[in-house]
Amino acid sequence: MYYLDSSILIPFTLARTVNTKKTKVIDELFSLISKRVIKCYTSFYCLLEVYIFSLQNAKNFEEGCEVGKEALIKILSSGVLLLTMVKREDRINYEHKFRKLKDKSDIPHAILAFINNCKIVTYDKHFNAIKDVIQIITPEEILKEIRK
């Protein structure tokens, strides 16, 4: 199972022309998700990051709200499953495993992926700091695994 980080969700929804090579791979990944070939999760944390990205890159607040809402609908309609927020007990029990992450806001993502036995799917290199605890993988690597 896989946990999709916002570095995957943003190009899927809002930044499609920034790197068309990545977008093509991400589209292929989401095609497999919608066909139920692979099971992927994301979280409210990632959805919030997508929405914030929309607000920060829009001409005005109203446009950001509208585009952000459309992005969330696209994600939630894609077949990706949505995980809850990290429970207090889980944060207490697992936070120490992910102390190597410099950006502490990434710890809830790592905990959710870990307790749900998921590999983290991301383009963000800073997650490599925890690759000794949880597997970090790119969409290209998933497609390579499936094609074997």
Give the span between the Cα atoms of 26 and 12, in whole angstroms.
6
Full-model pTM: 0.93
User: pLDDT digit string (tens) for 100-138?
Assistant: 999 899 999 999 999 999 999 999 999 999 999 999 999
Helix (H) or strand (E) holding 121: strand 119-121
Tokens representing 85 are: 């927020």
Q: What is the DSSP letter of 17?
A: T
Helix (H) or strand (E) holding 30: helix 20-34
* Residue 53 and residue 14 in contact, taking contact as beta carbons nearer than 8 Å: yes
Give the span between the Cα atoms of 106 and 97, in whole angstroms.
12
User: pLDDT digit string (tens) for 102-111?
Assistant: 989 999 999 9
| Coil/strand/helix, residue 45 | helix
User: pLDDT digit string (tens) for 33-70?
Assistant: 999 999 999 999 999 999 999 999 999 999 999 999 99
